[in-house]
Amino acid sequence: MIVRFWGVRGSIPVPGPTTNRYGGNTSCVSVQPEGGPLIIIDAGTGIRRLGKEMMKGEFGHGRGTAHLLISHTHWDHIQGLPFFAPFYVAGNSFFIYARQRDDTHLRAVFNSQTMDPYFPVTFDALKADIAFRELVEGTRFEIDGVKIGCTRLNHPWIAMAYRLDCDGGSVVYVTDTAPFTDILLEHEFIKVAPKPGDPLSEEDREKLSAMYDGVVGLCKDADVVIYDTQFTQDEYRQRPHWGHSTPDNALEVARAANVKKLVLFHHDPARTDDAQDAITREYQARARELGMSTEVLSAYEQMTIQIGAGGAAL
């Protein structure tokens, strides 16, 4: 399978001369199995360019089928959908998967994104056939032979990680998540940032431990793990309630799970290319110091990774 990155930033798109090399678009990754349908993970602004590439093939003629896995519906992970060209072509088929909500159906979430006065074209006006699949944490399912698993992450209003196994390889997508040590993030807004290291209730410790075990289990022996590393350690200490991790947290999970390749992802929008270069070098060295065989690299737009056999890049 071929894994390709279309958007690697967190929070907000940041085009400009200091972000050109890694790219300024928000989260979007494609996975193309050998002989199988395209699977897209998240729909940040990077999905616009992916859509344009898709239109050069069968999706431009209304004969395409693809599956879209959404980690969560915070704005930077869905903001590219109204600009995704294949949605506007009759005959195309899409299946959108995301965590089941307690308060509203998944379709209503995406429909509200384009309601007046926010966008001139409503979701109901899209011409492609779009179906929704609501998931619960721990669900295991298959898409044309691609085995997919998911688990919960530590993020405000809850996000999901996904693992895809096919063609003799595996890729895991883990964003957005805070570490599993300092604060439990659920269905509430936290107005005052807690201090990392503050005592937790026994119930919160148990939930966080279960989440950590779930993520390590999902990443176990994976070929590639794409991990949220938006913050440095100092940045995390200032904003632990934002729900993002550091490269140290990613290395910890990669080490525990025996990961072959760790891809730093969801780069802070204020992070320059040069600063990201420095972070990459630092944590490559840190992995060596820890005696890890894991390869560490940072995601950039148009980066392509082949895992196992087959797959054809767009």
Could you give the percent of the chain with pLDDT greater than 70?
A: 98
Is residue 106 a part of any domain in this protein?
Answer: yes
pLDDT confidence bin for 312, thresholds 50/70/90: low
**Band of the pLDDT at 114, cuts 50, 70, 90?**
confident
Q: Report, as an integer, the average pLDDT of 233-251.
A: 95
Residue 117 belongs to a domain: yes
First-to-last alpha carbon distance for the chain, in angstroms, is 12
311, pLDDT greater than 70: no
Give residue for tokens 């195309």. 92
Q: What is the mean pLDDT of the chain?
A: 94
Q: How many structural domains is the chain composed of?
A: 1
* Domain assignment present for 314: no
Residue 311 lies in a domain: no
Mean pLDDT of the 265-274 span:
98
Q: Indicate the pLDDT class of residue 12, thresholds 50, 70 and 90.
A: very high
Q: Do residues 27 and 60 make contact, with C-beta atoms less than 8 angstroms apart?
A: no
Tokens of 283: 């944590």
Q: Taking every pair of C-alpha atoms in the chain, what is the biggest distance, in angstroms?
A: 58
Which band of pLDDT confidence, cut at 50, 70 and 90, is reported for residue 109? confident
Residue 103 has pLDDT above 80, yes or no: no
Is 172 contained in some domain? yes
Per-residue pLDDT reduced to its tens digit, 57-94: 999 999 999 999 999 999 999 999 999 999 999 999 99
Residue pair 222/170 in contact by the 8 Å Cβ criterion? yes
Task: For residue range 17-69, list pLDDT tens digits in order.
Answer: 999 999 999 999 999 999 899 999 999 999 999 999 999 999 999 999 999 99
The whole domain housing 59 covers 2-306
Per the DSSP assignment, residues forming a β-bridge with 200 are none
Residue 130 covered by a domain: yes
CATH code of the domain in which 228 resides:
3.60.15.10
Is residue 121 assigned to a domain?
yes
